[in-house]
Structures are given as structure tokens and as C-alpha cells.
Amino acid sequence: MTRNAGGLEATGIELEVSATPIDGLDVFFTMTAADRKYVDIPASNGTGNIPCSNTPEPTNCTTVRDAPVRFPTSQAALGGNYVLPFELLGGELSVNGSVSYSATYWTCTYNDTGIVFGVPFGSAAGTAPVQAYLSLVPSTTLVNVGATWES
């Protein structure tokens, strides 16, 4: 469900650096860091127009206690591309790679108390429920490598 529940206040820094230290080699680095929070949230914005200050918080309420969605506090990437000419073969080989990182973030505004208990899918009968955070995407590191031949 997409809705506007109030305002978002964000401050941060972003850095992008790219360089060609030697012929054929291009490298880059990017980094962001942000402090973000919801502001000016109406008292009632969830299911049934129940005040969101109630405890427990009504379903689909957004409050200033919630973390903004799809907005990690930090991200970074480092990568490069190197081109190797092969004149005898009439082409060139490009080799590239990168590593990127993203801090945890939420995909749902119901996240200040978004803990749920459930039995893992496919578990045997009698398996004890486990605690999980509703809609929390864990921090992620991705590594990419590639090569291209161009004639």
C-alpha cells in the first residue's frame, strides 16, 4: 500500500570519485551516508483512522518512531574496468568487477515494533516459532565480475 503519511527529513553526504590511473584502467568509488526521519505525521493515519499513538500500534500506522522505508543509512561501491588490447586477434578484452554494500533498511513503515513470530515454511509439526522482523532487509554485500570480448 502506498500512501503519504507526513513528511520526511533527511540530511546526509554523498561522495563519488572516478579515476584513470593508467591507460586502460578506470576505477570508481561511491559512498552515501544519511540521517533520516519522519516528521509532521498526522495522529491518525492507519487502518480505521485509529490514533497511531495507541498501544499496540494499529496496523499500517506510520509514526515518528518508524524508520523511513527503502532508505538505508549507508551505501558504498568500489569497482573498476581494465581493457586489454589484443591486436594480433583483432580485438580487446575488458575485465570488470565491483563490490557494493547497503546497510539494513525496511520495506514497510510498520517497523518500530514490526516483530512477528512464525514457524519457518516447510518445518515439521511441533517446530517452535521463531522471531523475525517484519519487512527488514538485512545489510547486503554484492560482488560482481565480468569479462567482454570485442572485435
- Mind listing the pLDDT tens digit for each residue in 41-59? 877 776 667 777 776 666 6
Predicted local distance difference test score (pLDDT) of residue 62: 78
Write down the pTM of the prediction: 0.73
Q: Enumerate the β-bridge partners of residue 82.
A: 25, 95
Predicted local distance difference test score (pLDDT) of residue 1: 45
Is residue 94 over pLDDT 90?
yes
Using CA atoms, how far residue 127 sits from 19, 117, 132, 133, in Å, is 54, 12, 15, 19
87 φ, ψ (degrees, to nearest 5): -65, -35
Pairing of β 74-86 and β 25-39: antiparallel
Predicted local distance difference test score (pLDDT) of residue 121: 65
Buried b (16+ CB within 10 A) or exposed e, 34-72: beeebeebeeebbeeeeebeeeebbebbbbeebbbbeeb
Distance CA 139, CA 100 (A): 11
